[in-house]
Amino acid sequence: MEDPIQLKEEGNKYFQANDYEKAVQSYTQAIKLNKDKALQAVLYRNRAACFLKKEEYAKAASDASRAIDINASDIKALYRRSQALEKLGKLDQAFKDAQKCATIEPRNKNFQETLRRLGANIQDKLRIQFSTDSRVQKMFEILLDENSEKEKREKAANNLIVLGREEAGAERIFQNNGVSLLLQLIETKNADLILAAVRTLSGMCTGHKARATAILHYLGIDNICMWMSVDNEEISLAVCNLLQTITDCLLGQGKEEHHGKEEAVVLDTKKDLRMITMRLLDMLVSKEVSGQGRDRALNLLNKNIPRKDLKDHDNSRTIFVIDNGLKKILKVVGQIPEMPDSLPLTENTQLTASVLLNKLYDDLRCDPERDNYRVICEEYIKSKIDPQDMDKTLHAIQMVSGVLQGPFDLGNKLLGMKGVMEMMVALCGSEREIDQLVAVEALIHASTKLSRATFIISNGVTLLKEIYKKTKNEKIKIRALVTSDKTILYSVASALVNCTNSYDTKELVPELVQLAKFSKQHVPEEHPKDKKDFVVKRVKRLLKAGVVSALACMVKADSAILTDQSKELIARVFLALCEDPKDRGTIVAQGGGKALIPLAVEGTEVGKIKASHALAKIAAISNPDMAFPGERVYEVVRPLVSLLNTERDGLQNYEALLGLTNFSGRSDKLRMKIVKERALPDIENYMFENHDQLRQAATECMCNLVVNKEVQERFVADGNDRLKLVVLLCGEDDEKVQVAAAGALAMLTAAQKKLCSKMTEVTTQWLEILQRLCLHDNMKVQHRGLVIAFNLISADKELAKKLVESELLEILTYIGKQEDDQKAAVINVARDCLTRCMDYGLIKPLSQ
């Protein structure tokens, strides 16, 4: 369509239909094609009306102005601009346009009312403005007057903070030289006044990018970082919050709508963000910065540098920090507080730095980026290792220790650097306490990898024992003991994993193996002793030897000794032991069920999944009261529900569903716990599953859960297909699914009369499915079908009439006439159905 008039008419139709987006498109196209001035004014005026409806007031005012430029007496354009300007807070300009409208049409009541309203609003605004301006002025006079009473000063400070949090107040402070006056308050060195000024500035910056940018440039990032560096916790935290608020504005986060203000154009926020990042990185290595200030800088970097959502592909902030500040972060983790040249630190500084290292590493998107990170770390640590300068080498070992508390995989690669492990062990033999302390601390973190643990057992345990005997330093004594115990525990767990062959292995595709052999590539072959028969024999021998009791003891070990990696290994062993259902009773009897619960809740992600899977295997076939006595059974529900995640494999899903089915059949309290853990949506999803066993297990679980009133209410609620799904599953060919679905439907219709009528509405196949259930060869299915029929008949006479008029009456009569003791339950229900129909007067009794 290329006719502007037709496009205008089309836009009018869209406008009348409230489709303002399409109306804007039509008017915009017409504006591009049109050359007639009078029509152009109409098009701009009409598009302004659309923008008013869409609450895009700046655009509405702009279009109305273009129409007025063409025709200064266009009353519609003038009125629409007045409306838009009022919404933008420009009341004086809106009043002028409304005045022009009233001059052109003096008898128009709408224009007269608008003038009155705008006049009143302008008066109110001026009164508030002058009142606010005088209040602000008065507050600053009191605060800057050293002779003011303390009580008055405190009140003025608090009032200023409150005013800064309100948009109107913040703008008045900003427009009346308030930032300069607040800077004077900060320069007084009075802690209370500094806090009041900083908190007021934070309020002024919140949600306002233009104001935040102006305040950042006026105060200067160097000054802000200097104030954050002071050794005063309250001031340091307040300044940190101010800088976070400014950063949020620059990143476009936490933005608020401010009616009455058009958003100012703020250029190059990236430049400001990089400037802030560089100053924070500089703070990390400055001796002038307090420990608290360093912590604040690390916290700001932790919060603002890594991506919040990994779906966002832009990790440029992380790359910038790695290239410009990774060595500075490493310097912080490499500090030794006991040495005189140490930077000021708090007890949290180095752990926070390790967390930052981990977040940065996790935020990298590809191997080249991770390789660059590793190379920077290796080169920096190598530059610090100097056999002739033990203090310098100590810092290098401390860095490795810090990285091991952050990106663990990278830490292990750094341990593989030439001479690092040897240097750690050698330092244990030093006479200096500081050397021993750093070495044993590093060995604690290094001992969570089998190859490192083996090295420590071979080369370091004797030295650690000697240190334990000789030293009087409690810190060293405890760490030496933990390192040796932790190393041994990890090694034992690793050996058990090898015995049970419970490491994850990728299944080899035969065709690819043949292809690899053909191309003369190395193909890893399974060790003969790792074949299933050998593994099963070893598992049986371990169980016979009481390995479960030993594992239960290991789980109870002190958290300093039992690392997350050790927990994962123990969880792997438990899962391997639970493979054979016949062995699960033994595992429960020896305390395996109890031991698995903490492993499923804490540790590595893989470890928690393995422990949860082992719990599911036990829960699927064991009596919950025996396997998890007392309140402990409720702790098992969450790990089982976690396995319903679609990222878990089918076997984990299936066995978790079996466990939940077993639990949901025990008590309503357990059913309630399953509901509270939000398992219902996942269970319903698996009821749709194409896999027969998963669908069956999910349906059986739901059959048990529908006894719970809250679950029943979810079926009764409008706007869901839960009941329809259960009815359709009753018509499945799979008998096990039918038994479970029919059982669920029988209980639902017995408990909730509303569901009886709802069942007839959810699908047109309901009657056919019910008749098939009542005629089913499987007596369990047939009995459930007849119970459903009885519930429907009992619920409502009209519904009973509908059933009597169908073939179901013949089915009930046929079953009711039978005489068969084995089918007594089925026959009795059919007769109950007929009796209820007779009570309604829908059928007559057979003549004797």
pLDDT tens-digit readout, 688-706: 877 888 989 999 999 999 9
Question: Measured on CA atoms in the order 818, 823, 828, 831, is the torsion positive or negative?
Answer: negative
Cα Rg of the chain, angstroms? 38
pLDDT value at position 257? 41
From CA 446, how far away is CA 234, in angstroms rounded?
A: 38
From CA 61, how far away is CA 54, in angstroms rounded?
A: 13
From CA 685, how far away is CA 162, in angstroms rounded?
A: 50
pLDDT value at position 416? 81
How many residues are there in the chain? 848
8 A C-beta contact, residue 8 and residue 30: yes
pLDDT value at position 419? 75
8 A C-beta contact, residue 722 and residue 680: no
Q: Which H, E and C letters describe 351-396, residue by residue?
A: HHHHHHHHHHHHCCCCHHHHHHHHHHHHHHHHHHCCCCCHHHHHHH
- The CA distances from residue 367 to 196, 315, 322, in Å, are 48, 14, 15
From CA 811, how far away is CA 825, in angstroms rounded?
A: 16
State both tokens at 581.
Answer: 């259902």
From CA 655, how far away is CA 302, in angstroms rounded?
A: 39
8 A C-beta contact, residue 97 and residue 81: yes
Q: Residue 419's Cα: distance from chain center in Å?
A: 41
pLDDT value at position 226? 92
pLDDT value at position 791? 93
Q: Which residues of the chain have pLDDT under 50?
A: 255-267, 508, 523, 847-848
- Residue 509, exposed/middle/buried by CB under 10 A (0-12, 13-18, 19+)? exposed
From CA 262, how far away is CA 380, in angstroms rounded?
A: 50
Q: Which residue has tokens 């002779």?
A: 147
Buried b (16+ CB within 10 A) or exposed e, 27-63: bebbbeebeeeebbbbbbbbbbbbbbeeebbebbbbb
- Please give the mean pLDDT across all residues of the chain: 84
Amino acid (1-letter code) at residue 423: M
Buried b (16+ CB within 10 A) or exposed e, 250-280: beeeeeeeeeeeeeeeeeebeebbeebbebb
Per the confidence metrics, is the pTM higher than 0.75?
Answer: no
pLDDT value at position 512? 56
State both tokens at 296.
Answer: 């604040």
8 A C-beta contact, residue 456 and residue 446: yes
8 A C-beta contact, residue 585 and residue 550: no
Q: What residues have CB less than 8 Å from 218, skipping those under 6 apart?
A: 179, 180, 183
